[in-house]
Chains A and B, each alone.
Chain A
Amino acid sequence: KNQVEQSPQSLIILEGKNCTLQCNYTVSPFSNLRWYKQDTGRGPVSLTIMTFSENTKSNGRYTATLDADTKQSSLHITASQLSDSASYICVVIEFSGGYNKLIFGAGTRLAVHP
C-alpha cells in the first residue's frame, strides 16, 4: 500500500525554467510533511518542513505548498539551475504509537539541461 504518491516520475527542463512537482498522500493521522532533495548516490537533505496548519514554506528558490483538506502538496522550483538535477522526495510523517514514522514517496527525478 503506497500512501504517498508523487508525480511526475521524471522531468526534464531547461536551465532557468520553473517547474512544479506534485505529492498526494493518504497518510492519517498526519503530523507534518517534508520535501527532501537527494543527489545521486547521496543521502536525502531536507528542503522544507510544514505542519498541517501551514499552507506554504519557502527555502530560497524552493517553495512548498500544502493543502491538508485535499491532502496535496507541491514543490515549486524557480529559475532552475544545473545543480537542481536530483530526486525530490515527498515525506509525510505519521504519528502512531508514540513514534513519528516517515512515509516516503518514490520521488521525482529532475534533470536540468543547459
Chain B
Amino acid sequence: DGGITQSPKYLFRKEGQNVTLSCEQNLNHDAMYWYRQDPGQGLRLIYYSQIVNDFQKGDIAEGYSVSREKKESFPLTVTSAQKNPTAFYLCASSIAADEPYEQYFGPGTRLTVT
C-alpha cells in the first residue's frame, strides 16, 4: 500500500446521503486518481488530478465530485446522484500523469449504500 492511506476501510450509508472518502499520500506525488472496482469488472477511472487545484473527469465521473486543495489529499465525494454507489473504491498516486510512471494504490474503502 506504500504511502497512501484511505479511510475508513468500511463505510455504510443510507441511500440519498452524500459521503466523502478520504485519500492521503506522503509520497510527494503530483498525480492522484480515484478508481471504482465492481465484481467481475476491471477498475474504472472516476477522476484524476495531475496537480494541485486541477482535476479531470475519468470514464465514470457522473455522481461523484473531488477536490485537490493540497498535494497530499484527494477526497472523493459520492453524491446521492450516483445510482449504484455500492463498490470498492481505490485511490492511487504517481509521480506525474504525463509519463507512464507506476501508480501506487491505497488499501481501498468498501462503501455499502442501503
Contacts and interface: CB of A to CB of B under 8 A. Distances in A.
Interface stretch (A64-72, A74-82, A92-100): A92-100
A87 to B, nearest CB: 10
B42 A42 contact: no
A49 B102 contact: yes
Interface on chain B toward A: helix, strand, loop, or mixed SS? loop
Contacts, number: 55
Interface of B: 1, 4, 40-45, 48, 50, 56, 88, 90, 92, 97-108, 110
A114 interface: no
Given A42-B1, A45-B105, A95-B100, A89 B42 contact: yes
A105 B95 CA distance: 23
Interface on chain A toward B: helix, strand, loop, or mixed SS? strand
B98 A102 contact: no
A14 to B, nearest CB: 25
A100 B108 contact: no
B98 A100 contact: yes
A73 interface: no
A43 B9 CA distance: 11
Nearest to A34: B102
